[in-house]
Structures are given as structure tokens and as C-alpha cells.
Structure 1
Amino acid sequence: MKTLYIKNMVCGRCKMVVKSEFEQLGLPVVSVGLGEVELEEELTGEQKQALLQRLHVLGFDLIDDKKSKTIEKIKTLIIDLVYHQNNELKTNLSDYLSKNLLQDYNSLSNLFSEVENTTIEKYFIHQKIEKVKELIMYNELTLSEIADLLNYSNVAHLSNQFKKITGFTPTYFKQLKDKKRQQIELL
């Protein structure tokens, strides 16, 4: 079996679109996960080129080098944690990433900072703030419930972090008519 790593594949809809592209190209897929596709066999050069073209049109890309694969795995784990597990972090982020990637956190942190020009922690915070924006826009939860859901110690901590990142208080953001959210892959 062969695993391909795909950049910008961060949600359930992405998995469906990518799987569909593989099927349309007649490539036998064993499984599709966030950021990766497992195939029964190695791709030919021609198949890989056709796949690259189709994925690129959709905003995806194949990742070939080890550093990029590691960076993409870090991002995928963080996005999955924030958006799909309701930030159910039972340990600290460094232990979570080290355990899931089977690598020393300092190495992961240095690599991420070197390639992305930001820290893992800042990336994690930006993802959480985007989730907060989403939840504010839905207008179904109070700030206290949002703070609890995303493991903030209290509303003040959430509000301070929100203002530091966005320049607005959560309350002011809620009142804005043109609420700006960013696409996950652009963070």
C-alpha cells in the first residue's frame, strides 16, 4: 500500500472531493483521511501528473518531501482537534503532537517555526479564534459556553486572546455586519 499526503485537505467535504477525483481517475483508494489517501498500489508517473493537475485546480496539492509532510500533519492534527473534536485536549498540545507524530516536540516546533514563520502555539490560537468566530456567527452559544467548549479558563481569557488576534472584542465582532472569517488553509 502507498500513502499520499495532500495539502489543504482539512474537512469532511475535502475528503469527499478528493476521493471523487481519485475514483474519476480510476485510482483504487483503500481509505481517505484528513490530509492523506491510502492507495492499493504506487501511482505511475502519468497517473501522478494527472492527479496533480486535478488536485491543483481544486486547491489541493501533493506533498512529497518529509518536512512538508510533517508540517501538514501538525496542521491537520490541530485543525482536527479544534474543529472536529471540540478541542478535547486531555493533555497539553506539545504532548498531543509528540504522541501522535512520534517525534520530539522541540524538533516539531523548530521545523514548524522555520517553515511557517510562526509558532505551533500561535497557529493553534489562530485556529481556535477562527472557531470562536464561527460559533459567534451561529449565535447559538454564549461566550461562556464557547470559552468552555474550547477549553479557555474563562471568558476574560477568551476575550483577551480574541482581541489580541482580531483587534475586536467578541461582543463587538458579534455586532459587525460584515463578519470576516478566514479559510482554514489560509491561516
Structure 2
Amino acid sequence: MKIYIKYDINVACRTIVQEQLAKLGIEYDLQDLGEIQIPNGIPPEVFAQLQENLKRYGIDILNDQKSQLIQRIKNTIIEMINQDKLPASKISLYLAEKMNMNYSYISTLFSEFTHSSIENYIILQKIERAKKLLLQELSLTEISYMLNYSSVAHLSGQFKKTTGLSPSVFKKIIDGRKRRVYTT
């Protein structure tokens, strides 16, 4: 028997981190996505245990500033893409304002570190969101509006370029899998 689940990776990670911090008796304050303020510090042996516990779930504690900044950029993009409606302002302005940094610096650092552009990362995240919205039975028109695409054709083109499938073929494949599960 197969079952399909729907999950929010941000909620799952946040829950895991909170459980592990509580388990070790660490006082904390959740900040932005992926940021935690530890007011009283952590003894080295407890910190090592926290790292080990989180690693089991594929969660790493970032120690160097560039890695932390890259993760903050990614988290900010993911948070932005998962809003009900993307900001009306240019994404570069949104990121610069949200990160409180110069966009050209953010963009250069991101490209150097990830070997990809912020724009490509945004497209990948938008397509991931579009997949989820398709599964929620939203129309391509609704999805293209929510994700600030200029047209349904633009969304469809990026979807096919990124996944190798048109949105309608993607939906048919998923629906076919669901039918097979329910009939077996």
C-alpha cells in the first residue's frame, strides 16, 4: 500500500529544531526562517549533541558567515515565494530591503557560493510552488497570477524548461498515480 502525504518543509524543520532544543534544555528565541537566538549560549558538549541530533534529520548548523548569509537569502526567497501573492515590487528591491543589504553584493555572493544566480533559484522555487498549487486544483491562470508571471504561457514555458513536462502532463501523471493508489 502507498500513501501520499503533503508537508510543509519549513514547519517540519522548525518543529524538529524546537523539539531538539527543548530536549537539551536550551533556551531559545526563533527569529526569521532558519535563525535562532540563544540568549544564554550553549556549553560545547551540548552544542555538539545538538549538532549531532539535528544532523540525523539532514539539518546542519552553519558556522561561517558566508554560509549563513547564503542560507538567509534562500530562506528569504522561499518565504517570499510561499506568500499568498508575491510582492509587487521588483524582487531585487524586496531582497535588498528584507536583507538590509545591497542587492549587487547579495547577488554576487550568491552566485560565487552556489554557482547559480538568484534569478535561477527564484525560478526553481516558483516552479516548486506551482507544482504544489497544481496539486491543490488551482488553474494555471490563478497560479500565474499568484506567482507574478506575465502570462500563463510564460509560466508554462518555465515549468516545461525546468521539469521537462508541461503543467498539464505533470498534473495527469500525478492524478494517474493517485488513481492507481486508490484502486489497488
TM range (shorter): 0.7 to 0.9
Letter in 2 for 1:109: S
Say if 1:134 and 1:128 are closer, same or farther in 2 by CA, change over 3 A. Answer: same
Summarize deviations over 1:42-64 as a string: whole Å, max 9, x none. Answer: 11211110110011011111111
Deviation, 1:86, is 2.5
Number of residue pairs the alignment of both structures matches: 170
> Following the alignment from structure 2 to structure 1, what is the Cα–Cα distance between the partners of residues 44 and 150?
51
1:33 positional shift: 4.0
Question: Cα gap change, 1:142/1:78 in structure 2, threshold over 3 Å: closer, same or farther?
Answer: same
2:154 is the alignment partner of 1:176: no
Tell whether 2:136 aligns with 1:138. Answer: yes
Cα distance in structure 1, aligned partners of 2:55 and 2:175: 30
SS of alignment partner, residue 12 of structure 1: helix
* 1:109–1:120 Cα contact (<8 Å) kept: yes
Larger Rg: 2
Identity of aligned residues (%): 37
Aligned match of 2:50: 51
Distance 1:87 1:115 in 2: 29
Instruction: Report the secondary structure of 2:30's partner residue.
Output: strand
Change in Cα spacing, 1:16 to 1:46, as seen in structure 2 (3 Å) is same
Tell me the alpha carbon deviations over residues 100-143 of structure 1, each in whole angstroms, 9 at most, x when there is no partner.
1121111111111111111000000000001111111222x111
Aligned partner letter, 1:168: L
Map of 1:9-88 to 2, 5 A cutoff?
11-31=10-30, 33-83=32-82, 85-88=83-86
* Cα distance in structure 1, aligned partners of 2:30 and 2:165: 42
Instruction: Specify the SS of the correspondent of 1:176.
Output: helix
1:89 Cα offset (Å): 1.2
SS in 1 for 2:36: strand
C-alpha RMSD of the superposition: 2.0
Residue number in structure 2 paired with 1:160: 157
Moved over 2 A (4+): 30-33
Deviation, 1:31, is: 2.8
Gapped regions of structure 2 (runs ≥ 5):
1-7, 177-184
Q: Which has the higher strand share?
A: 1
State the distance in 1 between where 2:155 and 2:125 align: 13
Calculate the TM-score normalised by the size of structure 1.
Answer: 0.84
Counterpart CA distance in 2 for 1:103 and 1:35 is 18
